[in-house]
């Protein structure tokens, strides 16, 4: 696909919405995006229906429309990252890519040798984007984060729905806007990192992005390549 990111390669190891949304936007801009999915089940959202994708006869397929709304323009491959063979495949792919996106819990990929330190040693020019609920440090860092949880903790639910004097109360936004915003910020941060790499020649760029504080906590490890 042509576009301003044509020629760039992205390894998308994220799932559900925030990470896949970022990868989809990069694909829309012309990047070649390879999505990693679990064998047999794939991304969680493949089963999040109805609605489901229709086949030519108008019957429901096994894959939910939700999945295709966040993974447009990607190529999918199933890899078991818990096995040495799968980890080797990821290392090989990461060595050929410009960007890696993941939204595992903090240190979730470390035990598989797929964390930033391990991958950046293979590819010194890689932009590594890690999306979490609460950042990489602090008392909540290792907790999982979900859209509706962030909506509640961030106060967004308090400004939706009916007023309190009309028997109202906190109401979840109908669409997972926190995940969508996080994906938007991630895509912007990734493009900024790619531009920095192009202009300065710096590599080994690590982006830390969390749903609560967004891109203000993204440090860059500067290594001349």
User: Would you call 1 helix, strand, or coil by DSSP?
Assistant: coil
Q: How many CA atoms lie within 13 A of 150 on its CB side?
A: 22
β-bridge mates for residue 135, sequence order? none
Give the pairing of strands 223-224 and 202-203. Answer: antiparallel
Among 43, 98, 115, 179, the one annotated catalytic: 179
Distances (CA, A) of 54 to 49, 64, 65, 76, 153: 12, 9, 9, 19, 38
The Cα–Cα gap between 30 and 132 comes to 26
- What is the spatial distance between Cα 225 and Cα 223, in angstroms, rounded to a whole number? 6
Q: Which tokens go with 206?
A: 């690590």
As a residue count, the chain comes to 225
- Between the alpha carbon of residue 10 and those of residues 7, 13, 191, the distances in Å are 10, 9, 12
User: Is residue 131 within 8 Å of residue 137, measured between CB atoms?
Assistant: no
Tokens representing residue 55 in the block: 């086949």
Query: Does 179 participate in catalysis according to the annotation?
Result: yes
Query: What is the distance in angstroms between the CA of the first residue and the CA of the last residue of the chain?
Result: 28
Active site (catalytic) residues: 179
């Amino acid at each position: 696909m042509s576009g301003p990111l044509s020629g760039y390669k992205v390894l998308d190891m994220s799932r559900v919405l925030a990470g896949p949304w970022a990868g989809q936007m990069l694909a829309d801009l012309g990047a070649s995006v390879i999505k990693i999915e679990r064998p047999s089940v794939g991304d969680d959202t493949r089963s999040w229906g109805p609605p489901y994708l229709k086949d030519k006869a108008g019957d429901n397929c096994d894959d939910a429309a939700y999945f295709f709304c966040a993974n447009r323009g990607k190529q999918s491959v199933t890899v078991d990252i818990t096995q040495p063979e799968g980890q080797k495949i990821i290392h090989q792919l990461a060595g050929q890519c410009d960007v890696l996106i993941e939204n595992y819990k903090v240190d979730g990929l470390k035990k598989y040798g797929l964390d930033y330190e391990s991958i950046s040693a293979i590819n010194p020019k890689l932009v590594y984007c890690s999306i979490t609920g609460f950042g990489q440090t602090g008392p909540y860092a290792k907790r999982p984060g979900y859209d509706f949880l962030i909506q509640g903790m961030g106060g967004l639910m308090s400004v939706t729905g009916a007023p309190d004097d009309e028997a109202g109360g906190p109401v979840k936004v109908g669409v997972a806007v926190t995940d969508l915003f996080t994906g938007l910020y991630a895509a912007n941060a990734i493009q900024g990192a790619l531009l920095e790499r192009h202009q300065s020649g710096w590599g080994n760029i690590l982006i830390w992005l969390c749903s609560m504080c967004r891109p203000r906590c993204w440090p860059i490890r500067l290594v001349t390549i």
